[in-house]
Amino acid sequence: MRAKAETNFRPVLEGAILFGGIFLLDWLIPSSHLLSASPHPFWLPVLLLSVQYGLFSGVVSCFAAIILLQVASPFVQQMNEDYFSYGLRIWTEPVLWLLSALMIGAARSRQIAATKNDHEKLRQFERERKTLVEHNQSLEAAIDKFQREFVTSDNTGDNSVLAQLEQLRALPSDLDVEAFQQTIHALIGPCHVTLITGDKSVFAAPPEVDTLRTAKGDHQGSAETTPDRLREQLIVLNGGRQSRQRIRLPLRAPSNGKLQGILVLEDLKRKPNAQDQILLDLIATSLGSALLEESQNTATSNATPDRRTAANILNFP
């Protein structure tokens, strides 16, 4: 309310300053005959207020200029001047002021209204965006809660999956291969598990990755694997068998969303259901976080880095 009152008072203040400045200059420099100049200096406040604040302020400033003009220098009819010439002389500029204020002020008022409408839409969009963000955060919290409840519930048989998720945080320096394999097998049945990361040694590779590695460089080359290289490998894997016999899980850390590796499950005996997919997503998240921590520790260590290969591929039959 206070800001609105200040906005309404501003045209009055600016108009008073403009008209007062004109009278002050005429008083300080009498020889200039400023109030008798042509075009009249009252054009300045009329045009400025019309352009700045729109129709209403322009019309008000126009009538203020007409009143001040009559007070400051009243027009006197000459002896040999008829009424038509007298009226034309005293009303020509005031009428032009009014027409200018109407035309310019109307155009400016439409522009101001459109701007206010855009600002209101922007505020509405911001409120909706904030509401959506809050709703999304609440949904993420609820999903995380349900996932944790599912993993720790009796539906999983025991807490081996939760323990394995915690154990995956030690990857890749201290990976319990047998426990990892047993967890995957208990989840979706017997399958072939391939874990592809960005460093360490290449132990084995499925045919598609062999083809990619041969195209990119030597079997024991020194090219460092980047997220782009991992994405290329994921594209190659996606170009293979598109059936329930293969699942490709990109490993991304929740903190930055960058691709840290790929988990490939092949030769599946059954199609994973919704509960299996929840656990697979949790495993992929844990692996992505662990790989990110490992890469950060490697980057900040002072040890001399080992030679890198095109990919780190761990195969579990």
Question: What CATH number labels 158-316?
Answer: 3.30.450
Per-residue pLDDT, 196: 79
Cα 155 to chain center, whole Å? 40
Residue 306 clears pLDDT 50, i.e. is over it: no
Does the structure show a pLDDT above 60 at 76? Answer: yes
pLDDT tens digits, one per residue of 98-131: 999 999 999 999 999 999 999 999 999 999 999 9
Which residues belong to CATH 3.30.450 in the chain?
Answer: 158-316
Is 80 exceeded by the pLDDT of residue 300?
no
Range name among 167-176, 196-205, 262-271 with the lowest pLDDT average: 196-205
Which pLDDT does position 313 carry in this prediction?
Answer: 52
pLDDT at residue 177 is higher than 50: yes
> Does this model's pTM top 0.95?
no
pLDDT digits (tens, 9 = 90+) for 131-167: 999 998 888 888 878 777 766 665 544 455 566 566 5
